[in-house]
Chain A
Amino acid sequence: MKQLIGIWSILLWAGVVSVVNAQYLSYDCISEESDLIEGNYSTLLQSFDGSLWVGASAGCWKYDGENTLPVPLNGVFNTLDISAVYEDAEGKKWMGYSTGQVAYEDELGQFLPWEIEEGWPQARITAMQKDSLGQLWIATYGEGVYCYRKGRLYQFGKEEGLVSEDIYDLVIDQAGLVWAANDAGICLLSWQEGEKEVRSFSTTDGLPDNIVTHLFADPDSGVWLGTYDAGIAYCQVKNNQLKVSLPDIWPGGVVSSIAKVDQGQLWVGTQEQGLHVFMLKEQKVIRQETQLEHPPQRIVKLLFDQEGLLWILSHDQGLCRVQARLLNWDNLPVATQAIAIDQQNQIWVGSQKGLYYRPASGGALVPYKLAEDLNIISLHVDHHNRLWLGTFGEGLFILDAEKLDLQEIGAAHGLGNGSILSISGDANGIWLATLGGVYYSPSPSAGGLPRFSRPEATQSIGTDFLYCNHIDHAGNVWFGTDGHGVSYVQKDGTLKTFRTSKDGTSINAVYAITEDGRGRIWISTNDQQLYYLEEGSFQKPKKPMAFGRNEVIGIGSDHFGNILITHQRGLMVYDVATEETIDYHHFYQEAGFSPALNAVATDKEGKVWLGGIRQLLCYTPFYGKYRQQPRLHLEQISVYLDPLDFENKTVLKANENNLIFSYQGVWLSDPEEVRFRYQLKGFDQDWIATRDHQAVYSNLPPGRYEFVVTASQNNQFSSSEQRVSYAFRIRPPLYLQGWFIGASILLVVLLGRYFLQKREGRLQKEALLLKDKVESQYETLKSQINPHFLFNSFNTLVALIEENPKGAVTYVEKLADFYRSILQYREQDAVNLSEEIQVVKDYHFLLTQRYQDHLQLDIAALPQGKRVPPLVVQMLIENAVKHNVISRHHPLKISIYTEANYLVVENAIQPKLTKQPSTGFGLQNIRNRYALLSTLPVKLEQDEKFFRISIPLVVDKLSQ
Chain B
Amino acid sequence: MRILFFLFLTIVFLIPAQSQRETWQTREGKVNFLSDAPLEMIAASSNELRGVLDVEENTFAFAVSISSFDGFNSPLQRQHFNENYLESTLFPQTSFKGRIIEQVDFSNDGEYVIRAKGILNVHGVEQERIIKSTLVVKGNSISITSNFSVRLDEHNITIPRIVNQKIAEVIQVEVAAVLIKRSNP
Which residues of A line the B interface, CB within 8 A?
Answer: 117-119, 122, 143, 151-155, 157, 159, 196
Q: Does A154 contact B102, Cβ atoms closer than 8 Å?
A: no
Segment 118-156 of B: residues with Cβ below 8 Å from A: 128-132, 147-149, 151
A164 CA to B128 CA in the complex, in Å?
A: 20
Which listed residue (A119, A151, A159, A196) contacts B130, Cβ 8 A? A119
Interface residue? B181 (CB, 8 A) = no
Query: B99 contacts the other chain (Cβ, under 8 Å)?
Result: yes
**Residues in chain B near residue A154, CB distance under 8 A:** 128, 130
Chain A residues with CB under 8 A of B101 = 122, 143, 155, 157
The answer to whether the Cβ of B27 comes within 8 Å of any Cβ in the partner chain is: no
Q: Are A118 and B130 in contact (CB under 8 A)?
A: yes
Q: Which of B99, B102, B132 contacts A118 (CB 8 A)?
A: B132
Q: In the complex, given contacts A119-B113, A119-B130, A119-B132, what are 13 additional A-B residue pairs having Cβ atoms less than 8 angstroms apart?
A: A117-B132, A117-B149, A118-B129, A118-B130, A118-B131, A118-B132, A119-B115, A122-B101, A122-B115, A151-B151, A154-B130, A155-B101, A155-B117
30 A-B contact pairs sorted by A residue (CB < 8 Å):
A117-B132, A117-B147, A117-B148, A117-B149, A118-B115, A118-B129, A118-B130, A118-B131, A118-B132, A119-B113, A119-B115, A119-B130, A119-B132, A122-B101, A122-B102, A122-B115, A143-B101, A151-B151, A152-B129, A153-B130, A154-B128, A154-B130, A155-B101, A155-B117, A155-B130, A157-B101, A157-B117, A159-B99, A159-B117, A196-B128
Q: Which residues of A contact B147 (CB under 8 A)?
A: 117
**With a CB–CB cut-off of 8 A, which chain B residues contact A159?**
99, 117
Residues in chain B within 8 A of chain A (CB atoms): 99, 101-102, 113, 115, 117, 128-132, 147-149, 151
Separation in Å of the B111 CB from the closest CB of chain A?
15
A159 to B128 CA separation, bound complex (whole angstroms): 12
Secondary structure dominating the interface of B: strand
Nearest-Cβ distance from residue B171 to partner chain A, whole angstroms: 13
Chain A residues with CB under 8 Å of B132's CB are: 117-119
Nearest chain-B residue to A196 (Cβ)?
B128
Give Cα A304 to B149, complex, Å.
44
A354 to chain B, nearest CB (A): 73
Give me the 9 closest cross-chain CB pairs, A-B, nearest first: A119-B132, A118-B130, A119-B115, A155-B117, A153-B130, A122-B102, A118-B132, A117-B148, A154-B128
Q: How far is the CA of A118 from the CA of B148 in the complex (A)?
A: 8
Min distance, Cβ A167 to any Cβ of chain B, angstroms: 14
Nearest CB to that of A119 among chain B residues?
Answer: B132
- How far, in whole Å, are A574 and B149 apart by their CA atoms in the complex? 62
A159 vs B115: C-alpha distance when bound (angstroms)? 15
CB distance from A810 to the nearest CB of B (A): 102
Cα A850 to Cα B130 with chains together (Å): 124
Neighbouring B residues of A152 by C-beta, 8 Å: 129
Cβ contacts under 8 Å, B99 to chain A: 159
Residues of chain B within 8 A (CB-CB) of A157 are: 101, 117
Complexed CA–CA distance, A297 and B160 (Å):
66
- Residues from chain A with a CB closer than 8 A to the CB of B148 are 117
Residues of B within 8 A of A122 (CB): 101-102, 115
Q: In whole angstroms, how far apart are the Cα atoms of A856 and B181 in the complex? A: 123
Find chain A residues with CB under 8 A from B130 CB.
118-119, 153-155
- Nearest CB of chain B from residue A241's CB, rounded to whole Å: 29
Complex formed: what's the CA distance from A119 to B132 in Å?
6
Q: What CA separation (Å) do A122 and B130 show in the bound complex?
A: 13
In Å, the complex CA distance between A155 and B131 comes to 12
Residues of chain A contacted by B149 (CB below 8 angstroms)? 117
Measured CB to CB, the closest approach of chain B to A140, in angstroms, equals 10
| Best-surrounded residue of A143, A155, A196 (most CB of chain B within 10 A) | A155
